[in-house]
Amino acid sequence: MTGYQSVSFQESSTSDTERVDILLSQMTLAEKIGQMTQVEKNSITPEAVTEYGIGSVLSGGGGSPAPNTPQMWARMTRRFQEAALRSRLGVPLLYGVDAIHGHNNVAGATIFPHNVGLGATHDPELAARIGRITAVELSATHVHWNFTPCVAVPQDIRWGRTYEGFGEQTDLVSEMGAAAVRGLQEADDYSGLSHRQAILACAKHFVGDGGAAWGSAGQYEWIQDNWQRAGSQYQIDQGDMNGDEATLRAVHLPPYQVAIEAGARSIMVSFSSWNGLKLHAHKYLLTDVLKREMGFTGFLVSDWMAIDQLDPDFYTCVVTAVNAGLDMIMVPFDYRRFILTLTQAVEKGDVPLARIEDAARRILAVKEEMGLFAQPWGDESLLPQVGCQAHRQVAREAVRRSLVLLKNEGALPLPKNTPRLLVAGAAADDVGLQCGGWTIEWQGKSGPITPGTTFLAGVRETVAAETAVNYQPDGRFPANLTADAGIVVLSEPPYAEGVGDRADLTLPASDLALIERARPHCRRLIVILYSGRPLIITDCLPRCDAFIAAWLPGSEGQGISDVLFGDYPFSGKLPFTWPRSMNQIPACAAEDTPLFPYGYGLTTKGGK
């Protein structure tokens, strides 16, 4: 092989910095810009990766091979990496995915609770263990880069990304986010990013996306492929945070400082704006604050087509974003246009060559830290561990520790030998509804979309052999059928990002009707809610004897049964204030009382 790998790369006397400088000195402008380019996998061929020296390829939500198996994922990513190694200088690429609750694009992978549920555990050690397991499953498929953790601090639960946040309090988000970074990046021997099972974390979305105002999301009519045009559901996602710098620094900035201290070497910039200026154009925050003041020496990556929102003129978009401090651009489609545009901008002097060299150096330095030049592969020997029982046991533990018991009037724990149990609600037997968005597909989907254990299956596995479990998805039980206990499972439909922006978080009338149909058939009624955020449940609370916030628990629904029947105690605590009415959203006034305060959660005794 020619180029970089032939000039003292492996010499022990050469430092990491010197090796990067040697490589950079050999690179053409085209090769430096190639490193700054990230392309969606369906929009580029391996041959083009070689030709353009592309720095990164990604799978967006649902960007899976066919068939969607761990083995096919490994084959797909290997082809792209092999292509990168055939480029003139043989610079390895970073393959990136949004594995935000496990390797969630891969059918059969372990799907953990979304971050809102992990926030309810208030346990950073658990978050780190989940990060480590996710890293192992990613490494098995040659994925080196994970666009997580989300360290947003959501202040308005109408936001469709609320469940990607660990909670509403800065300290909780900082602690859990840093733990997630360590879990992804630190292998068991603590050898750092150079270990084959270490995965590059990406703190996101810098900065203030959790503070955006309702109704501030923009529309960008000049973008041909603009997913927002499909409807008006985007109301707060990608919106504008209106506020002073003191609030930005006190509430939204600290999780990034802590993530950097934990070892984060990549940060994704937010679609959102601060006081009207898009973050992708915000040189003060990206360069002056993040890179200089906070000392971040890794690289910044844009979000999906986000630079296109800066201006109707694409040339202006590219110049503005790169000069603001973006190092890698998630194009994600027309990479040739981006490369040509940035090349022209440098040739015209609108983007300084020093800015290109700084960006390329940052990207190459992280690849060097990761040991990709010496070992560009993951570890396919780990493929049998993708979705293995040991990993699912940790996911099951995370489920039971994330559950928040909001009401219990003598109903829980349930005896396993209860003679008869009634179960109602389609969500009770639906893995897809348990998992929510960002599962197999970008928006998620109901049904058996990936292997897992539904709540109903977990109940049947847990109760005594003589217990009769009667299940009716619509709650229409025979008139003469009664039981000591009934369980109704409710669920938000799956969603992701701005598609989940929702003006009214009140439980739909159909859910209240389901409760009303089940109530006469049981002496004690337990309601379980799958949701990515608190919903307005005030009207249904008097109709049940126990209420459980189960968040979006993922593939291991049996974790709910573990707690419901007393093998383990309820221990979760609310990561968000639970409002009494929509009048308390986005914030509950100081003189008002929420339905349940931040940190609330009843406990029960557990048998194990």
| Residues labelled catalytic | 303, 497
Q: How far apart are CA 162 and CA 168, in angstroms?
A: 9
DSSP 209-274: GGGPPTT-----TT-TT-GGGG-S--SSTT-EE---HHHIIIIISHHHHHHHHTT--EEEEPS-EE
Does residue 205 have a cis peptide bond before it, meaning omega lies within 30 degrees of 0? yes
| CA-based R_g, the chain, Å | 25
- Angstrom distances, CA of residue 441 to CA of 7, 69, 237: 44, 14, 19
Is residue 362 within 8 A of residue 325, CB to CB? The reply is no
Alpha carbon of 405 to those of 23, 103, 408: distances in Å?
A: 57, 28, 7
Query: One-letter amino acid identity for 223?
Result: I
147: left (phi over 0), alpha (psi -120 to 50) or beta: beta
Q: How many residues does the chain have?
A: 608
| Spatial distance between the Cα atoms of 184 and 195, rounded to a whole number of angstroms | 11
| Nearest-angstrom CA–CA distance, 273 and 276 | 6
**Strand 277-278 and strand 273-274: pairing?**
antiparallel
| Torsion sign (Cα): 420, 425, 427, 430 | positive
Cα–Cα distance for residue pair 362/14, rounded to 1 Å: 18
Q: Indicate the DSSP class of residue 503.
A: S
Q: Please tell me the distance from the alpha carbon of residue 274 to that of residue 294, in angstroms, as a whole number.
A: 19
Q: Which residue has the tokens 């409760």?
A: 515
Q: Is the peptide bond before 70 cis (omega within 30 degrees of 0)?
A: no
> Which of 554, 605, 552, 543 has its CA nearest to residue 575?
552
| Residue 213 token pair | 């105002």
DSSP H helical ranges for 309-452: 314-324, 335-348, 353-369, 389-402, 431-435
> At 305, which helix (H) or strand (E)?
none
Q: CA–CA separation, 463 vs 469, rounded Å?
A: 9
- Name the token pair of 226: 């603009």
HSE-CB at 274 with a 13 A cutoff on CA atoms is 25
DSSP at 284: I
Sheet with 203-206, strands from edge to edge, namely 203-206, 266-269, 299-301
Long-range contacts of 512-516 (CB under 8 A, 24+ apart): 512/539, 512/540, 514/424, 514/425, 514/474, 514/475, 514/488, 514/490, 515/475, 515/488, 515/540, 515/543, 515/544, 516/543
Query: Nearest Cα to 118, choosing from 102, 137, 104?
Result: 102
The residues facing 328 across adjacent strands are 301
Please name which of 521, 531, 605 lies closest in space to residue 565, comparing C-alpha atoms: 605
Alpha carbons 56 and 58: distance in angstroms, whole number? 7
